[in-house]
Amino acid sequence: MTNTKTHEDLSCSVDLNMSEVLTSKQKSIPKKTSQPQKESEDKAITNSEEFTQGQQEEGFNGFGFSDALLKTLKDKGYNEPSPIQKAAIPELMLGRDLVGQAQTGTGKTAAFALPILERLNGGCRLPQVLVLAPTRELAMQVADSFRAYAAGHPHFKFLAIYGGADFRSQINSLRRGIDVIVGTPGRVMDHMRQGTLNTSELRCLVLDEADEMLRMGFIDDVEWILEQLPEERQMVLFSATMPSEVRRLSKRFLNQPAEITIKAQEKEARLIKQKYIVLQNSYKTEALKRVLEAVTGEGVIIFARTKAITLTLAEVLETSGHDVAVLNGDVPQNQRERTVERLRSGGINILVATDVAARGLDVDRIELVINYDMPFDSEAYVHRIGRTGRAGRKGEAILFVSPRERRFVHNLERAVGQQIEEMSIPNNEVINQSRVERLRNRLIQAAKIQRDNSKETEVLQGLLQQVSEELEISQDQLALAAINLAIGSAPLLVQGNEDWLKPASHKNRRDDRSISRRRNERDTNYPEDHMERFRVEVGRKDRIKPGNLVGAIANESGLQGRKIGRIQIFDCYSLVDLPKGMPKDVFEDLKKVKVLNKELQIHRIN
């Protein structure tokens, strides 16, 4: 990996030389036509290692991009395309349909956004491109990426449309003219049915994270949308996995697509030292403060499950004297950019973030990632720890798990291909050693500093001599007084009871079987510790399926489908497990959500 600055969708690889392939006629988005080619040429199946053989490193210059786009990429410090970009961009510049399979964080957004931008027709008021995304957070993120890449094309307009936002404002934006729409399936369907979204000039459709849309129950909605679109159009499908339903969708709607598969690279994960701590949920906040004291990194990201938890943690850490910032779905884009820049420049050292808000975050100085909440799946874990160990540097990742969650650690180990070591919560001795070492380093640095003004130095030396004579104390005593002045009145060393620090795993390993037995003996419908149960007034008689509930709740609350827990459907009602800490305004909005034209009327179950 080269030591260069990258974007959330731009990582390091070598380039394909397409300068002799592209012509000016290929710079506009053509309507979909068949591409008769040899079967062997229809598939560009490759992995990241194959790109390093026999290719000339040219960055993004070999794709036939315009000077304006190349300048934008250069100004933002994006130098090298990732493997998925290297394989996909030439195919998309040629107007081919494409199926791409790659994990999160490999650069999928830029892989389709850059060639789409390059081939947009100016002056068309109707949408030319539609991108379907499973969640509103991802829709906003993709739209923001388009805007960032289009800095050299200010006349192009982009719009994210999703549930929970004002419908009228979206209609007004569409009437003024939009080039690229990024939306969730439900809201896109609403606009199409009401005639406020005209797709007659649509030339390109992108399905982003198709497997996630399948998981959330959107696949029927996606098929309905595709059936309404012009038959002659380019279609792009990206997915981390390829379930049979997604594969069937691609065969039905894509025309002789190029197929690209990028295998995950394990060597980057091996640069990250991974550990986990087993503890009760009630001790997590105190344990977090101790970890930050003992395992200090140049920059730290703490991942939390919900927006509410990010705010609570930030407040606790600020009270403890840390410089902290928050990144969640409620943070406006301009503030988000300022926060990331402060983290990059050293203005802050700790960032508390949700998964969606920190997706693609690329800051080289991050040395420590703390998973305050257990990620919902292996992909989310890989994405989180990938925020450290950037550009070939080493990093550290620490995972907090409850005794009940400990069994999931093995699944994460399989995902990253290495062992995750267990560690203890730092005790008083470890923290005190860390504090003394930090004070020592501060003294060493201070001793090396020479004041620019020699007169000021003379004044300070005279002041020390005066105090020493006045109090009749030695130079050592005077030095201790200066240290006390520097560290303040707070005690340097931690004291107090440490009984709660005993590893929860040791005392709970023998209880794993008894815990499982007790859970089987009690009500099996009891929600997990980090979840709470809700009742919705739709059930089997309303022909409700789990996917309908997942899609409606995810679009309105901003939760990823994978974060919604167990769903039980009965005749007249259903039960849904959601993460604890749901904001009040989101809960109020969920009460008004309709599924199959019937309100959820959601309420908590005590």
Give CA–CA dist 113/451, Å, rounded. 52
- Which of these ranges, 242-256, 453-467, 491-505, has the smallest mean pLDDT? 491-505
pLDDT of residue 205 exceeding 80, the answer is: yes
Instruction: Looking at the structure, tell me whether residues 175 and 250 fall in a common domain.
Output: yes
Instruction: Looking at the structure, tell me whether residues 89 and 175 fall in a common domain.
Output: yes
Instruction: Looking at the structure, tell me whether residues 464 and 541 fall in a common domain.
Output: no
Instruction: Please report the pLDDT score of residue 270 as a whole number.
Output: 58
- Do residues 374 and 408 lie in contact, with contact meaning Cβ atoms separated by under 8 Å? yes
Give CA–CA dist 477/320, Å, rounded. 29
Residues sharing a CB contact under 8 Å with residue 577, sequence separation 6 or more, in sequence order: 527, 528, 531, 532, 533, 534, 564, 565, 566, 567
The string of DSSP codes covering 33-59 is ------HHHHB----GGGGGSS----T
Strand partners, 157: none
- Among 544, 536, 436, smallest CA distance to 217 is for 544
How many domains does the structure of the chain reveal? Answer: 4
Strand partners, 397: 274, 369
Instruction: Looking at the structure, tell me whether residues 419 and 441 fall in a common domain.
Output: no
Tokens of 64: 């036939």
- Which residue matches tokens 């200066």? 482
Instruction: Looking at the structure, tell me whether residues 238 and 292 fall in a common domain.
Output: no
Instruction: Looking at the structure, tell me whether residues 247 and 279 fall in a common domain.
Output: no
Q: In terms of pLDDT, which residue wins out, 191 or 148?
A: 191
- Identify the helix (H) or strand (E) that includes residue 205: strand 204-207
Instruction: Looking at the structure, tell me whether residues 466 and 598 fall in a common domain.
Output: no
Can you give the CATH number for the domain in which 118 is found? 3.40.50.300
Q: Which of 261, 291, 323 is the last residue of a domain?
A: 261
pLDDT of residue 195 exceeding 90, the answer is: yes
Q: In terms of pLDDT, which residue wins out, 559 or 306?
A: 306
- pLDDT tens-digit map of 134-179: 887 788 878 988 998 998 888 899 999 998 788 899 999 999 999 9
Confidence of residue 192 (pLDDT cuts 50, 70, 90): very high
- Do residues 537 and 601 lie in contact, with contact meaning Cβ atoms separated by under 8 Å? yes
Instruction: Please report the pLDDT score of residue 104 as a whole number.
Output: 58
pLDDT of residue 309 exceeding 50, the answer is: yes
Instruction: Please report the pLDDT score of residue 34 as a whole number.
Output: 42
Q: Is residue 547 one of the residues assigned to a domain?
A: yes
As a whole number, the mean pLDDT across the chain is 79
The β-bridge relationship of strands 272-278 and 421-422 is parallel
- pLDDT tens-digit map of 557-578: 766 677 788 888 888 888 998 8
Determine the Cα angle at 220 with ends 214 and 226, to 5°: 105
Q: Is residue 373 one of the residues assigned to a domain?
A: yes
- pLDDT tens-digit map of 212-225: 888 778 888 999 99
- Do residues 244 and 214 lie in contact, with contact meaning Cβ atoms separated by under 8 Å? no
Most confident of 37-51, 58-72, 196-210, 288-302: 196-210
Give CA–CA dist 285/261, Å, rounded. 41
Per-residue HEC secondary structure of 386-448 comes to CCCCHHHCCEEEEEEECCCCHHHHHHHHHHHCCCCEECCCCCHHHHHHHHHHHHHHHHHHHHH
Instruction: Looking at the structure, tell me whether residues 159 and 74 fall in a common domain.
Output: yes
For residue 537, the enclosing domain spans 523-604
Q: Is residue 18 one of the residues assigned to a domain?
A: no
Q: Is residue 334 one of the residues assigned to a domain?
A: yes
Confidence of residue 379 (pLDDT cuts 50, 70, 90): low
- pLDDT tens-digit map of 97-110: 999 987 655 678 88
Determine the Cα angle at 320 with ends 319 and 324, to 5°: 75
Instruction: Please report the pLDDT score of residue 217 as a whole number.
Output: 83
Instruction: Please report the pLDDT score of residue 3 as a whole number.
Output: 38
Instruction: Looking at the structure, tell me whether residues 297 and 227 fall in a common domain.
Output: no
pLDDT of residue 543 exceeding 90, the answer is: no
Can you give the CATH number for the domain in which 540 is found? 3.30.70.330
Determine the Cα angle at 301 with ends 509 and 503, to 5°: 20
Instruction: Please report the pLDDT score of residue 445 as a whole number.
Output: 84
Instruction: Please report the pLDDT score of residue 525 as a whole number.
Output: 54
Q: Is residue 213 one of the residues assigned to a domain?
A: yes
Instruction: Looking at the structure, tell me whether residues 419 and 438 fall in a common domain.
Output: no
Most confident of 167-181, 251-265, 425-439: 167-181
- Among 601, 565, 585, smallest CA distance to 307 is for 585
Q: Is residue 248 one of the residues assigned to a domain?
A: yes
Q: Is residue 413 one of the residues assigned to a domain?
A: yes
Question: In terms of DSSP H, where are the helices of 298-366?
Answer: 307-319, 333-345
- Do residues 258 and 228 lie in contact, with contact meaning Cβ atoms separated by under 8 Å? no
Instruction: Looking at the structure, tell me whether residues 395 and 311 fall in a common domain.
Output: yes
Instruction: Please report the pLDDT score of residue 40 as a whole number.
Output: 37
Instruction: Please report the pLDDT score of residue 391 as a whole number.
Output: 55
Q: Which of 228, 261, 294 is the last residue of a domain?
A: 261
Instruction: Please report the pLDDT score of residue 513 as a whole number.
Output: 45
- Identify the helix (H) or strand (E) that includes residue 83: helix 83-93
Handedness of CA 74, 80, 85, 90 (dihedral sign): positive
- Which of these ranges, 24-28, 507-511, 567-571, has the smallest mean pLDDT? 24-28
- Do residues 368 and 388 lie in contact, with contact meaning Cβ atoms separated by under 8 Å? yes
Determine the Cα angle at 307 with ends 285 and 537, to 5°: 115
Q: Is residue 448 one of the residues assigned to a domain?
A: yes
Instruction: Looking at the structure, tell me whether residues 401 and 434 fall in a common domain.
Output: no
Instruction: Please report the pLDDT score of residue 25 as a whole number.
Output: 35
Instruction: Please report the pLDDT score of residue 55 as a whole number.
Output: 37
Q: Which of 235, 261, 287 is the last residue of a domain?
A: 261
